[in-house]
Amino acid sequence: MKTIAERLKTARDYIERTTIDAHRPTKSVQLLAVSKTKPVSDIEQAYEAGQRLFGENYVQEGVDKVQALEHLSDIEWHFIGPLQSNKTRLVAEHFDWFQALDREKIARRLHEQRSPHKSPLNVTIQVNIDDEHSKSGVSPDDVMALADAIQQYPRIVLRGLMAIPKADSSDAQQYASFSNMLALFERLKQQYQTADTLSMGMSSDWQQAIIHGSTMIRLGTAIFGPRQ
């Protein structure tokens, strides 16, 4: 069995090589370690190996981990799961990023609940790029309207887009989804200077995501092993 530190090193090496092969600047792709369902001790091991960005999907589990690791103050915590409006306060109070924004109501609540003593909460709009009923996210046609609506809430800042493309699609379909995301992201960047993040790519598809301009890949299984 490989250790978390070894898996992280392997992932970083592959990411760097793929980034160079894609003719993109080194360090232009960040690695988010998705630690959902995994114990605090796994996060500590990854931290020791230099990892600083962590992603959680479930509100209470995430808050418990943030609090348990409060002494590691340079961790950047990303909430990446769907969020019900009655749980927004916990995300506004404990996380640095929320990646799954898909409606204005949630944006308004996060703004109202974010402390003025903290830096604004970073958000990415989740795009339902393959129009799947099982997934949240706005349709590509609605991205610019939501981006515009967010501008009235200064306690949150628009950082870009996030997507979870369909898992079992053909290579051609996967290329199309990633290309469509990149085109949307380019449009968003032209309009909003704060938009610098395209969060796409997971353990099974991150190479294609990097080739298509992803700036943040989210790896769970590849770092921490399979989940139960």
Which tokens is 143 given?
């991205």
CB neighbours (10 Å) of residue 203?
16
Tell which residue, 115, 98, 113, has the closest CA to residue 158. 98
Residue with Cβ nearer ligand PLP (155 or 223): 223
Would you tell me the crossing angle of helices 104-113 and 143-150 to the nearest 10 degrees? Answer: 20
Does residue 57 belong to the site contacting ligand PLP (CB under 6 A)? Answer: yes
* Of positions 94, 108, 155, 218, contacts ligand PLP by CB under 6 A: 218
Smallest gap from residue 200 Cβ to ligand PLP (A): 9
Residue with Cβ nearer ligand PLP (32 or 195): 32
Residue with Cβ nearer ligand PLP (96 or 151): 96
Percent of the chain that is helix, strand, coil (3-state, to 5): 45, 20, 40
Does residue 78 belong to the site contacting ligand PLP (CB under 6 A)? Answer: no
Question: Which of these segments, 86-94, 131-139, 151-159, 213-221, binds ligand PLP (CB under 6 A)?
Answer: 213-221
In angstroms, the CA 54 to CA 45 distance is 12
**What residues make contact with ligand PLP under the rule CB under 6 A?**
34, 36, 57, 80, 164, 202-204, 218-222
